[in-house]
Amino acid sequence: MSDAIVTFEKVNKWYGNSFHVLRDIDLSVRRGERIVICGPSGSGKSTLIRCVNALEEYQEGRITVDGTELTDDVKAVEAVRKQVGMVFQQFNLFPHLTVLENLTLAPMWVGHVPKAEAEVRAMQQLQRVRIAEQAKKFPLQLSGGQQQRVAIARALCLTPKIMLFDEPTSALDPEMIKEVLDVMIELAGQGITMLCVTHEMGFAKAVADRVIFMDQGQIVEQNAPHEFFENPQSDRTKDFLSKILGH
């Protein structure tokens, strides 16, 4: 278990008293592993990755991230969030700040990096996602694909060990999906641990070490991508794959 960076042990979570959203989740993510999580809507896949950086609380079980157990303790949450970057479906850029300010905000205020240095690093990250020329613009002046790349760069500015992607391409026009996926594929080649909720099966085949299929709050099946797509074990997985790959 020494190379596991994220572990879930018998994690259960409820919304309110009745909606059992995560059921007995057991999961161990290796350092540098790239995992794609898929499943129908409401299956708990977003909730699962949002537990990793404590955006969601859980009621039973244990989650450990890079050696820190996630509890109610604020210090633990702080420590974990330093290691985990996140990219959202709706980008969640700060609309009142420029692209550059979006990137330098956390390094300056959380990491206490001097402004000049934070800006140099931010520009490096913007170059990495190929959008450096937009640094002075405001987020809402950019296209969806550009905004999402800025969001990825913003998360990378804190040099996280783990990146969470919560349906990063679902809010994008078809033409813009590729530019975001290209950036993610590049990132995947650089040894960062990735947990990615997505329906982009091409991306899963190209970069994932493991594909996890969830339904009704449970992990139904997990396997290496070629096994997962060629030889799904459960009927539920076959049914799901036939629907999303069927045409």
Q: How far is the CB of 239 from another protein (least distance, A)?
A: 32
Residues 6+ apart with CB under 8 A from 229: 201, 204, 205, 211, 241, 245
Q: Name which position in 67, 95, 114, 202 contacts another protein (CB under 8 A).
A: 95
Distances (CA, A) of 127 to 135, 175, 182, 183: 10, 21, 14, 11
Q: Is 86 in the site for another protein (CB under 8 A)?
A: yes
Q: Which of 3, 57, 73, 78 binds another protein (CB under 8 A)?
A: 78
| Range 118-131 burial, b when 16+ CB lie within 10 A, else e | bbebbbebbebbeb
Between 19 and 109, name the residue whose CB sits nearer to another protein. Answer: 109
10 Å Cβ neighbour count for 28? 14
Whole-angstrom Cα distance, residue 161 to residue 31? 9
- Candidates 18-26, 106-114, 186-194, 197-205 — which segment interacts with another protein by CB under 8 A? 106-114
The answer to the question of residue 84 lying near another protein (CB under 8 A) is: yes
Q: Is 211 in the site for another protein (CB under 8 A)?
A: no
How far is CA 224 from its chain centroid?
19
14 near another protein (CB under 8 A): no
- CA–CA distance, 224 with 209 (Å, rounded to integer): 6
Smallest distance from the beta carbon of 81 to another protein, in angstroms?
A: 5
1 or 140: CB nearest another protein: 140
Among 138, 143, 178, 223, binds another protein (CB under 8 A): 138
Residues that bind another protein (CB under 8 A): 53, 55, 78, 81-82, 84-86, 88, 90, 92-96, 105-106, 109-110, 138, 140-141, 154-155, 158
